[in-house]
Amino acid sequence: MSVPSTPIASVILLLASAAASSADFLVDTTSDDGAAAFQACDADPANANCSLRGALVAMNASAGPHTIRFELPVSDPGYVPATSHWRFSPVTPYPYITRELTIDGYTQPGALPNTNTPAQGGSNAVLKIEIAGPGRSAQTDGLQAVNGIGNATLTLRGVAINRFFRNVSLYNVAPHRIEGCFIGSDITGAQGFDPGLAGWIGVVHGGGTLQLGGTAPATRNLVSGNLYIGLWQSAPNPLVVEGNLFGTNAAGTAELPRQDYAIYLNATGQAATIGGTAAAARNHFGANRFGAIYVNSQVPAGMPNPQAVRIVGNVFGTDASETLALGNGLNPASPSQPQATIFAFGGGRCGIAVGGDAAGEGNLIAYGGAAGVQVSGCTQAPVLGNRFLRNRTLALDISPGSNADGATPNDPGDADDGGNRLQNVPEMTALTCAAGTCTLGFRVDTAVANAAYPLRIDVMRGRNGQPEAPVASVTYLAADAGLERTLTFAAAALSGGALVLSATDALGNTSEFGGDHLFSADFD
């Protein structure tokens, strides 16, 4: 029986393909040389001259999953003695990532993952691998995962990436993870860059699912120093954002100039959760100049979940100790035009819920340049269970259009429309306290035709119309419309504060917060 002959070239190709199927690539030089000598990458430390570019080329040439590890010597030209780290400076864009890949900067000796929880504040991660672009004006992108011949899935861990037009771009349908990274800042997390050098967008989420951060301390990211947006979601894909710092330095104690928005959601067709009920899922948003979270969407008709974006359990505008003022939306470039910390804009349903009733769902929203939350034009955006502290205007501003308009006066029957249907605020008619118990009289002038009954009336303790803690809730039925009703609560629940009321209809349209107009000062 004869054996078919195989051309020598085919044998060489088969051997090369087999060698390239190794799961790990060990990068040992910061050189960006594209020559073959710098692309002979494998997992053997004895085989020198594996560049990051070479590892990416080799990874794309074979089925995954793959891991890129690092073992760089101090003799490497990319070593930066002042910070004892290694800088990769690609001359041309890196090849697209088209396979399942993990890039693990924590494999470089000396790198240490963060051990601080959100409650402890800041990140103490020590990073050793930096991927630095030529500056925003060059409009060069950094790491990009796109649909290719394989399953383009990126896990990025323990890397500082900065000075690209878009530092990380995810444009395919696979799941991605970014954890333990500094996105936009320098390697220390303590410095940003001049506007001409700073990256434009930290992460573009244009496809697949994305887990940014996590509840383990080692997974927390710093997303700061990007000139425009930290995380931009450009397509309706599932998103989980947990445990990160946005806008501050790595210590979480000061602004890291200058990031306009922390998160900009331009499409909310699928579930997105920012934060969580566990303390370890809490994100910290501080000193983002135009605002912390901007949601621009209209939920598609027929979507069963009207709150596609849930913002729960986060801290806005202060540090972990809640003592430093790091307000969002202060807009130093135009001080006369401050912005809301959380801004929802669009037509139809907003697709956003801020806070909630379950333990841990409420956010702390503090020291904002304007309103804590602004709901403009769109509807059904419940704002429940949050604490508001010293925001410069309102806790919640509902407005007909995109411009903040301050407190919205009640109108007879609540016939007007706009953000959250410009829901009327409950009116307090009487308050008496005796023997440790207070009785509150109130009414809501909203016709049954102009809201989805029953209404939920929340009574809170607060100052200057900004609620700080819940006191009581009561259901206001359609039969009650326009009529005075009463509720009782323990006087001790006020703790020296004043009463703050709001109404939320059955579809989630929360009104602004009405202050205690019965007293000129806080209740004593």
Provide DSSP, 195-248: TTTS-SEEEEE-SS-EEEE-SSGGG--EE---SSEEEEE-S---EEEES-EESB
Give the Cα separation of 280 and 277 in Å (integer): 8
> Residue 190 is encoded by which pair of tokens?
């303590």
Domains of the chain (ranges; CATH) run: 424-515 (2.60.40.10)
Give the Cα separation of 169 and 508 in Å (integer): 34
Its pTM stands at 0.92
Give the Cα separation of 97 and 154 in Å (integer): 8
Q: What angle do CA 413, 347, 295 make, to 5 degrees?
A: 115
Residue 300 confidence (pLDDT):
60
Q: Give 392: exposed, middle or buried? Use CB within 10 Å, 0-12, 13-18, 19+.
A: middle
CB environment 7-20: b (16+ within 10 A), e (fewer): eeeeeeeeeeeeeb
Handedness of CA 203, 206, 207, 210 (dihedral sign): positive
Could you state, in chain order, the average pLDDT of each consecutive group of 10 residues for the chain (524 residues)?
A: 32 32 82 76 81 92 92 97 98 93 98 97 98 92 82 93 97 91 98 93 93 98 97 89 98 94 81 95 97 83 68 97 95 86 90 94 97 94 97 95 89 94 96 93 96 97 93 96 95 90 97 69 40
Q: Are 157 and 112 in contact (CB under 8 A)?
A: no
User: Nearest to residue 364, comparing CAs of 306, 457, 425, 283?
Assistant: 283
What is the DSSP code (8-state) at residue 511?
Answer: P
User: Nearest to residue 233, comparing CAs of 257, 194, 261, 263?
Assistant: 263
